[in-house]
Chains A and B, each alone.
Chain A
């Protein structure tokens, strides 16, 4: 996609978000992303933006897809994460093995969920689902977007990766920190219609997640831009000691430096000449780090208002942290990067 086309797409996403999301952002955080938003995302072609047209998606190229993810994340990191989960993770894992399932999630007819905790920090095994003949039965924790029609999960023991089609019943929420729009939860599973996607689930999940460096960077940069835009507006009008906050050096220089990092990373993200794995990983590591810092300062400079959900700032702080735990494998990323830099396994001790 040319940069002019990217700009047009950016305006289209912004216009959609202003019209269809802006008034619902607090509701998304409190109650989750509702069906009408999913349908609207699907109608616009954003939900399945990266899914090939033959599977009912929009089939846009990666540069356009990054624009969609970043712009949506400036409004709602949860919604952006839902798009990535649907378009890249679910569709990437299922693909040809069940085109109908992919078509249904791209159209918003059905919702997709994935449990990939076994490859994240602080966890190593996928527990709960037992294979029994052709069925999978049990209770699965740590499902991203648990309230869904389809679930991708490994089976306990064999570690094989399955697409579970139905028989999924959400039981509880596992965490309340981040991505409240899609939630991480536990579900009871009793499914006789499962499709085996891979023998080594862990390897396959890691492969897909590690291929999403730029997508995760786009969400991270959406978070930091959303937070920074809010704090720039706020510090222009909020006064203490009869002066707008922006007039105080520590406030202005902190925000200006964060904006500089933002701009440089956005230029790198949308530079279509970047195709080396090493560079993509570098962008991701820096972008996630920026999202954490930018959202923290944005909250801080809002004072007490930053601490209350109504101002829509604290969600960036929560989601930036969640992004680095639920969608990123930071220690493994650091080791991947060290290997790229040193040319051999490094930094593991």
Chain B
């Protein structure tokens, strides 16, 4: 077993790290956070320089880590413009791939994935937005809540109900591509988020929106399955975001403690602090190992949802733990610097793309199922 990454991934990490050091300064991060503004120039630059390139999933994974290590709001905003693309890539027609994926892969266009509704996000099968087929189009009615890139995306992969459930709630759901400029489609930017404030989040409202029937992705009624498959991929990237945040917090703790030592205040680095540093570093390393293992299965097309959920839940809890402890260790200097933002940003990791509670349910249910199947 070799724990070293191949050279091209090491280079990708270095490139992302250099980019982050140059383009994601504390001052920028603070300003975008304060103004809740989407950093479109940064995003475009990241594409132009080949920093964002989802054709190589491993290099994307380490790139996300490095960018979020500098700042999660900017790091996520720069890398999330293809959110949902895998649904089209895996299940869409050639025509859909050509029409929609080319322009998001070059960074020219932005997309989003719209699943959550005001009535619920964890309970994916409980969504209420409907798409009724009328001739060669769908008539879409309903609303979506908390959608990343919601007010800036050119189009969305949207989960809709195309027929009533036949006794099973997750039946009758489909995924369709909905373009953002259609009549009857309005979006309200949500402001006042606790963190990741440079990312764009919106509520989408659809009132008799006409979508061509050709925008149905894959088969009608298979939407739930497609979205679950997607989450198994995206959760590995969320784990990478969380690792980046936790590592970024650890970097800043170590730099703070280094400064204390340099200024003759080593006695302030008590054993309690040393134990916390050890705990954080261990958890970051464990999160990496879990995430890379989950990603290794995933990127070889044999996904292991149990491992992916473990990685996502554990890395997210690590990000929250690391940022909390980082503030406690650094005190006033932390709360008046980058770390307070890291603390606010970290909490979203335990919520989006499957809350920690939902990940734990997935892990246990899979394990119990495997046991009952005699594996």
A residues within 8 A CB of B7? Answer: none
Residues of B in contact (CB 8 Å), total: 42
Q: In the bound complex, how far is the Cα of B204 from the Cα of A327, in angstroms?
A: 41
A residues within 8 A CB of B123? Answer: 239-241
Binary CB contact string for chain B from 312 to 345 against chain A (1 if under 8 A, 0 otherwise): 0000000010001001111111111000100110
With both chains docked as a complex, state the minimum distance between the C-beta of A54 and any C-beta of chain B, in angstroms.
35
Q: Are A325 and B335 in contact (CB under 8 A)?
A: yes
Q: Which chain A residue has the least Cβ–Cβ distance from B350?
A: A300
Q: Which chain B residue has the least Cβ–Cβ distance from A315?
A: B194
Q: Are A176 and B34 in contact (CB under 8 A)?
A: yes
A residues within 8 A CB of B357? Answer: 248, 250-251, 300
Q: Which chain B residue has the least Cβ–Cβ distance from A124?
A: B265
Q: Are B351 and A307 in contact (CB under 8 A)?
A: yes
Neighbour of A122 across the interface among B121, B320, B330, B351, CB < 8 A: B330
Residues of A in contact (CB 8 Å), total: 46
Binary CB contact string for chain A from 92 to 123 against chain B (1 if under 8 A, 0 otherwise): 00000000000000000000000001001111
SS class of chain A's interface: helix, strand, loop or mixed? helix
Q: In the bound complex, how far is the Cα of B190 from the Cα of A307, in angstroms?
A: 11
Known: A176-B340, A304-B146, A331-B270. A325 touches B126 (CB 8 A): no
Neighbour of B347 across the interface among A175, A176, A240, A307, CB < 8 A: A307
Q: Which chain A residue has the least Cβ–Cβ distance from B122?
A: A240
B residues within 8 A CB of A314? Answer: 194
Q: In the bound complex, how far is the Cα of B193 from the Cα of A325, in angstroms?
A: 22
In the complex, B173 has a CB within 8 A of chain A: no
In the complex, B208 has a CB within 8 A of chain A: no
Q: Are A177 and B335 in contact (CB under 8 A)?
A: yes
Q: Are B355 and A120 in contact (CB under 8 A)?
A: no
Tell me which of B324, B334, B340, B355 has the highest count of chain A C-beta atoms within 10 A of its own C-beta: B340
Binary CB contact string for chain A from 301 to 324 against chain B (1 if under 8 A, 0 otherwise): 001101111100010011001101
Known: A241-B126, A303-B351, A307-B351. A326 touches B192 (CB 8 A): no
Q: Are A178 and B335 in contact (CB under 8 A)?
A: yes
Q: Are B194 and A307 in contact (CB under 8 A)?
A: yes
Residue ranges of B at the interface with A (Cβ–Cβ < 8 Å): 34, 116, 120-123, 126, 145-146, 190, 192-195, 256, 265, 270-272, 320, 324, 327-336, 340, 343-344, 347-348, 350-352, 355-357
Listed A/B pairs (16) with beta-carbon separation below 8 Å: A120-B332, A122-B333, A123-B332, A141-B336, A142-B332, A184-B336, A240-B126, A303-B355, A304-B146, A306-B351, A308-B192, A309-B192, A321-B343, A324-B328, A331-B270, A331-B272
